[in-house]
Amino acid sequence: MNQERRVLDLLAAVNGYSVDDTGADTFDVRRKNDYGPQVARETADQARRITMLTAFLAAAALVVSAAAAYFGGTLGGNHRDKQTVVVGWYRPW
């Protein structure tokens, strides 16, 4: 209770209100927001779902990139070592 009183005194001093007005408003808001833990749980669950989706998309992008790098490296190595012509590779300039 002592800490609440100090907060009320600080609010009253900063905003120019009387302590009685500030206290009534503060405790009304606190009573109206009793659903805070439920909102926090829902927000945490949503953050977890978004994090899992982001991690999955990042992993999928890495797999696709690795496959493209392997394919490109194989074609480039064969072109260099075996002097094979890869259809579609040409100099546009």
The residues spanned by each domain of the chain are 1-34
pLDDT in tens, the chain (93 residues): 577 777 777 777 777 666 665 555 555 555 555 667 788 899 999 999 999 999 999 999 999 999 999 999 998 888 888 888 777 766 665
19, 13 Cβ separation under 8 angstroms: no
22, 12 Cβ separation under 8 angstroms: yes
Q: Model's pTM, two decimal places?
A: 0.53
- How far is the first Cα of the chain from the last one, in angstroms, to the nearest whole number? 79
d(CA 37, CA 56): 29
**pLDDT at residue number 46:** 96
**pLDDT at residue number 39:** 82
33: its two tokens: 């927001």
